[in-house]
Amino acid sequence: MAAADKIRDGEILLEMKDVHMLFGKVIALAGVNLEIRKGEIHSVIGPNGAGKTVMMNIINGLYRPQQGEIFYKEKKINFLKPYERSKLGLARTFQKVEVFGGMTVLDNIRLGRHIHYKSGIFSGSWYFGKTAREENKHRAFIEEEIIDLLEIEQIRNKPVGMLPYGLQKRVELGRALALEPELLILDEPLAGLNLEEVEDMARFILDINEEKRWQVTCLLVEHDMGVVMDLSHRVFVLNFGNMIIDGTPKEVQNNPEVIKAYLGEDDLYSTRK
Amino acid sequence: MTTTFLPCGVYHENYIQDHAWWQTKFIKGKMLLLFFLLFILIPLLADTYILSICNQIGYTILGAIGVQLLIGYCGQLTLGHAAFVAVGAYTSTLLILEFPWPAILLNLGLAYPISIFIAGLMAGLWSVLFGLPSARVKGFYLILTSMAAQFIIVDFIITQYVSQIGGRGQAFSLPPGTIKLGPWLIDSDLKVYYLMILLCIICIVGVANIMRSRVGRAWVAIRDNDISAEVMGINVIKYKLLAFFYAGFIGGIAGSFWISNLAAISPEHFPWSWSLWLVGVILIGGVGSIHGTIFGALFMVLVMESLQLMVLPLADIYPKLLMDFLFIKEAAFGLAICMFLIFEPNGLAYRWWQTKNYFNLWPFSY
Ligand SMILES: Nc1ncnc2c1ncn2[C@@H]1O[C@H](COP(=O)(O)OP(=O)(O)O)[C@@H](O)[C@H]1O
Ligand SMILES: [Mg+2]
Ligand 1: which atom is nearest the Cα of residue A49? Answer: 19
The sheet carrying A41-45 orders its strands as A90-93, A183-187, A217-221, A41-45, A234-239, A242-247
Q: How far is B250 from chain A (nearest CA, A)?
A: 12
**B246/A112 Cβ within 8 A:** no
Instruction: Supply the CATH classification number for the domain A1-89+181-248.
Output: 3.40.50.300
Residue-wise pLDDT for B277-305, tens only, equals 999 999 999 999 999 999 999 999 999 89
**B242/A121 Cβ within 8 A:** yes
**A159/B3 Cβ within 8 A:** yes
Contacts A132 to B, Cβ<8 Å:
16, 19
Residue A222: which of A238, A240, A209 has the closest Cα? A238
Contacts of B267 (CB under 8 A, 6+ apart): B86, B154, B155, B158, B159, B163, B170
Residue A187: which of A222, A213, A160, A161 has the closest Cα? A222
Contacts B16 to A, Cβ<8 Å:
132, 136
Contacts B71 to A, Cβ<8 Å:
none
CA angle B217, B219, B223 (to 5 degrees): 115
DSSP B6: P
When pLDDT is averaged across residues B225-242 and rounded to a whole number, the result is 97
Burial of A101 (0-12, 13-18, 19+ CB in 10 A): middle
- What pLDDT shows up at residue A265? 54
DSSP string, B190-253: HHHHHHHHHHHHHHHHHHHHHHTSHHHHHHHHHHH-HHHHHHTT--HHHHHHHHHHHHHHHHHH
CA B116 to chain CA centroid, nearest Å: 15
Distances (CA, A) of A44 to A52, A221, A248, B131, B361: 7, 5, 12, 41, 50
Q: How far is A175 from chain B (nearest CA, A)?
A: 8
Identify the closest residue of chain A to B236 by CA–CA distance: A83
Cα gap A101→A133, rounded to integer Å: 27
- Greatest extent of chain B over all pairs of C-alpha atoms, in Å: 69
How does A214-230 read in b/e, with b if 16+ C-beta sit within 10 Å?
eebbbbbbbbbbbbbbe
Residue A160: which of A109, A213, A100 has the closest Cα? A100
Task: State the CB neighbour count (10 A cutoff) for residue B179.
Answer: 25
Cα gap A126→A118, rounded to integer Å: 14
When pLDDT is averaged across residues A257-273 and rounded to a whole number, the result is 60
CA B128 to chain CA centroid, nearest Å: 18
Residue-wise pLDDT for B150-160, tens only, equals 999 999 999 88
Distances (CA, A) of A266 to A224, A244, A263: 15, 18, 7
Q: Whose CA is nearest to atom 19 of ligand 1?
A: A49
- What pLDDT shows up at residue B24? 76
- What pLDDT shows up at residue A252? 93
- What pLDDT shows up at residue A273? 43
Mean pLDDT for all residues in chain A: 92
Ligand 1: which atom is nearest the Cα of residue A56? Answer: 17
Distance A19 CA to ligand 1 centre (A): 15
Task: State the CB neighbour count (10 A cutoff) for residue B317.
Answer: 7
Cα gap A140→A137, rounded to integer Å: 5
Contacts B288 to A, Cβ<8 Å:
102
Q: Kindly report the length of chain B.
A: 366
When pLDDT is averaged across residues B24-33 and rounded to a whole number, the result is 84
Q: What ipTM describes this predicted complex?
A: 0.93
Cα gap B88→B121, rounded to integer Å: 8
Interface size, chain A vs chain B, as Cβ–Cβ contacts under 8 Å: 129
Alpha-carbon dihedral of residues A61, A63, A68, A69, nearest 10 degrees? 0
The neighbouring-strand residues paired with A43 are: A220, A235
Q: Which of B216, B233, B242 sits opposite A115 (nearest CB)?
A: B233
Residue-wise pLDDT for A77-119, tens only, equals 999 999 999 999 999 999 999 999 999 999 999 999 999 999 9
Contacts of A38 (CB under 8 A, 6+ apart): A7, A10, A11, A12, A13, A182, A217
Contacts of B330 (CB under 8 A, 6+ apart): B273
Q: How far is A125 from chain B (nearest CA, A)?
A: 4
Alpha-carbon dihedral of residues B168, B169, B175, B181, nearest 10 degrees? 90
DSSP B133: G
- Give the residue numbers in B contacting A (CB under 8 Å), as ranges: 1-3, 14-16, 18-19, 205-207, 209-210, 212-218, 220-221, 223-225, 227-236, 242, 245-246, 288
| Closest ligand to Cα A191 | 2
Residue-wise pLDDT for A234-264, tens only, equals 999 999 899 999 999 999 999 988 887 775 4
B287 φ, ψ (degrees, to nearest 5): -80, 135
**B209/A126 Cβ within 8 A:** yes
Can you give the three-state secondary structure of chain A, one letter per residue? CHHHHHHHCCCEEEEEEEEEEEECCEEEEEEEEEEEECCCEEEEECCCCCCHHHHHHHHCCCCCCCEEEEEECCEECCCCCHHHHHHCCEEEECCCCCCCCCCEHHHHHHHHCHHHCCCCHHHHHHCCCHHHHHHHHHHHHHHHHHHHHHCCHHHCCCEHHHCCHHHHHHHHHHHHHHCCCCEEEEECCCCCCCHHHHHHHHHHHHHHHHCCCCCCEEEEECCCHHHHHHHCCEEEEEECCEEEEEECHHHHHHCHHHHHHCCCCCCHHHHCC
Distances (CA, A) of A234 to A64, A77, A91: 26, 23, 20
When pLDDT is averaged across residues B199-225 and rounded to a whole number, the result is 96
Residue-wise pLDDT for A8-54, tens only, equals 778 899 999 999 999 999 999 999 999 999 999 999 999 999 999 99
Distance A51 CA to ligand 2 centre (A): 7
Residue A268: which of A26, A38, A41, A45 has the closest Cα? A45
DSSP B40: I
Distance A236 CA to ligand 2 centre (A): 15
Q: Choose the mutation target among A57, A98, A146 for the interface with B, i.e. most B CBs under 10 Å.
A: A98
| Closest ligand to Cα A63 | 1
Q: Phi-psi category of B268—alpha, beta or left, where left has phi over 0 and alpha has psi -120 to 50?
A: alpha
Distance A28 CA to ligand 1 centre (A): 6
**B212/A91 Cβ within 8 A:** no
Distances (CA, A) of B214 to A122, A203, A239, B87: 11, 31, 42, 29
Residue-wise pLDDT for B39-65, tens only, equals 999 999 999 999 999 999 999 999 999
Alpha helices in chain B (DSSP H): 15-18, 25-36, 42-45, 48-67, 81-98, 103-108, 111-131, 139-149, 189-211, 214-224, 226-231, 236-258, 272-285, 290-315, 320-323, 325-343, 347-361
Q: Identify the band that residue B1 occupies on the pLDDT scale cut at 50, 70 and 90.
A: very low
**B231/A92 Cβ within 8 A:** yes
Contacts B244 to A, Cβ<8 Å:
none
When pLDDT is averaged across residues A164-188 and rounded to a whole number, the result is 97
**A81/B217 Cβ within 8 A:** no
Would you kindly state where each structural domain of chain A is located, as residue ranges?
1-89+181-248, 98-179
Calculate what percentage of chain B has a pLDDT beyond 90. 61
For residue B178, give the 3-state DSSP assignment.
coil
B113-117: list long-range contacts, CB under 8 Å, 24+ apart.
B113/B181, B113/B182, B115/B91, B115/B256, B116/B92, B116/B199, B116/B253, B116/B256, B116/B257
- What pLDDT shows up at residue B167? 72
Q: Whose CA is nearest to atom 5 of ligand 1?
A: A23
